Amino acid sequence: MISIAITAGLRARIYAHARRCFPAECCGYLRGPEAVDEIVECRNAHADGDHPTTPDRGEDSAFVIAGAELIAFARSFDTPSPARVVYHSHTNGRAYFSAVDRDVATANGGPTYPVQHLVVGLTATTIIEAAQFAWDGAAHDWVEVARWPIAESR
Ligand SMILES: [Zn+2]
């Protein structure tokens, strides 16, 4: 599994988005022609009850991109600058691919979209860690391909 390289600059912008959304989860994606070079912040529509698997869970444990933002995301795959990495935050401070994350990211035995995932774990005061996950066709599962311990207080 080769991880899509995410520059420190883009990661810093994702961390800033996660902090702005706290105590809710943030979500968005990175797009680019080869390397990712653009961040698209999305609104976490989970509070609207749109979540496909767990409508009763709060924003600290689920996220969903919906409406016009989901359409723009889906259309990006037909452009020269497709979405390549979807990101979201966990407000329990831990970066892992949860059972719900796996559910949403997987469809018909493969990835729902041709993207990797970045999860940021933060608390009210600190970005603790981040981890990146990619679909492993042989394992038929999402595997961790990169990890950043951060512990950066604001
Ligand atoms: Zn998650």
Q: Is residue 3 part of a domain?
A: no
Give me ligand 1 centre to Cα 98, in Å. Answer: 5
* Dihedral (Cα; 150, 147, 52, 108), 10-degree rounding: 170
Reported as a single tens digit per residue, the pLDDT across 83-136 is: 999 999 999 999 999 988 998 899 999 999 999 999 999 999 999 999 999 999
pTM over 0.85: yes
Give me ligand 1 centre to Cα 78, in Å. Answer: 26
Residue 152 has pLDDT above 50, yes or no: yes
Give me ligand 1 centre to Cα 154, in Å. Answer: 22
Reported as a single tens digit per residue, the pLDDT across 9-44 is: 999 999 999 999 998 899 999 999 989 999 999 988
Q: Is residue 46 part of a domain?
A: yes
CATH of the domain at 127: 3.40.140.10
Q: How far apart are CA 26 and CA 115, in angstroms?
A: 17
Give me ligand 1 centre to Cα 119, in Å. Answer: 7
Give me ligand 1 centre to Cα 95, in Å. Answer: 8
* Low-confidence winner among 3-7, 12-16, 24-28, 60-64 (lowest mean pLDDT): 60-64
Handedness of CA 19, 21, 23, 25 (dihedral sign): negative
Give me ligand 1 centre to Cα 118, in Å. Answer: 9
Higher pLDDT, 154 or 138: 138
Q: Is residue 29 part of a domain?
A: yes
> Could you give the number of structural domains in the chain?
1
Q: Is residue 104 part of a domain?
A: yes
**Are 92 and 121 within 8 A, CB to CB?**
yes
Q: Is residue 2 part of a domain?
A: no
Greatest alpha-carbon pair distance for the chain in Å reads 41
Residue 12: give the domain boundaries: 8-153
